[in-house]
Amino acid sequence: MAEIGVGLVGYKFMGKAHSNAYRQVAHFFDVDPVPRMVAVCGRDEEGVAQAAKQLGWEGYETDYRRLIARDDVGLVDVSTPGNTHFEIVMAALEAGKHVLCEKPLANTLAEARQMAEAAKQAGVINTVNFNYRRAPAVQLAHRLIESGRIGTIRHWRAVYLQDWIVDPDFPLVWRLQKELAGSGALGDLGAHIVDLAHFLVGPISQVAGATETFIKDRPTLAASDSSLGATAGQERGLVTVDDAAVFLARFESGALGTFEATRFATGRKNYNSFEINGSEGSLVFNLERMNELQVYFASDDADTLGFRTINVTEAAHPYAGAWWPSGHILGYEHTFVHAIKDLMDGIKSGVSPAPTFEDGLRCQAVLDAVEQSSESGGWASPDPTA
């Protein structure tokens, strides 16, 4: 089998998840090419050297430009904060490298549009890591929708709820600063459920939304330690992103949707859930029970009519046959392995696996429209070309 050298930029939370996926994919899936973990990149040499050793990379770089310039790197994986996506991705595309970029694609609609156009012009494989598409239950939901099992979709309702910044003294980390993160819960969490809506229901034509920042300022991080759990300094800095976002949506198909994304849902840790109601049935998914899909089919016999739970661990279910015997569940990390499997298939076939940069652009347009609506108080239409 052929190999493709991978260069990963970023080695914290997402970097660890991606590294695990590159290590595991060829052990469970028949992929060609096989990813070779050439180098990981980070600005802190001591930190990135340790990460390379711990996560299984052959070497490391401290400058992404050197990483991209390497002849033994054919795929560049961008797993850094949003404010750096544009410059790194554009450099990788200019060098003719295939690119995997973490979500959301960019911090602004203008950046996302340039990145999508550059990827098109470069003619390379490109994909955005909306990993929840790769949960077997979500793939099964898509299959049931495409086969017409739930009929015409009327309603989509989705929430993505976390609570990790409920404490007003939680420090001012990068995700709470617009210049670094682009937006708050809207881009961090809302992007995921927008992508799932696009995948399962279709394009969104209008949105009406509201955002709120509940805690306006937070302790700044001690200069000596910028990790998530660092001791906060005495000074406080402004929170410049939203803490929560809610919005209504109209789909091009005529379906109606509701979305809620917040990091202030006390008690919710990673509650990503959607319900889809169609003319012939309904589907319910909850990431915290990610091996299950609840289904309701109106065509069932009256004496057995009702929601039932499918445990998506049978070999007949998407991706599941590559893993464990029936009933042995998968976890969060497997969604990343599935994404890399599909990426390797895309590199072999020459077709970028969805979600592509074009899909990432369409998601960014929805996020941008929600922000416009929140400011104007009216409906707004996502426009990827704006």
Domain boundaries, the chain: 3-132, 134-325+363-376
Q: Return the amino acid letter for 26.
A: A
CATH code, 3-132: 3.40.50.720
Beta bridge partners of 261: 160, 245
User: How do the pLDDT tens digits run along the chain, 386 residues long?
Assistant: 799 999 999 999 999 999 999 999 999 999 999 999 999 999 999 999 999 999 999 999 999 999 999 999 999 999 999 999 999 999 999 999 999 999 999 999 999 999 999 999 999 999 999 999 999 999 999 999 999 999 999 999 999 999 999 999 999 999 999 999 999 999 999 999 999 999 999 999 999 999 999 999 999 986 334 444 445 457 999 999 999 999 999 999 999 999 999 999 999 999 999 999 999 999 999 999 999 999 999 999 999 999 999 999 999 999 999 999 999 999 999 999 999 999 999 999 999 999 999 999 999 999 999 999 999 999 999 999 87
User: Alpha-carbon dihedral of residues 95, 100, 105, 106, nearest 10 degrees?
Assistant: -40
Rounded to a whole number of angstroms, the CA Rg of the chain reads: 21
Token representation of residue 286 = 């909850």
Within 8 A by CB and 6+ apart from 173, the residues are 221, 226, 228
Angle between helices 109-122 and 357-376 (to 10 degrees): 170
CATH class of 134-325+363-376: alpha beta
β-bridge pairing 98-102 and 75-78: parallel
- Of 135, 160, 36, 79, the C-alpha closest to 334 is 135
Contact predicate 278/150, CB 8 Å: yes
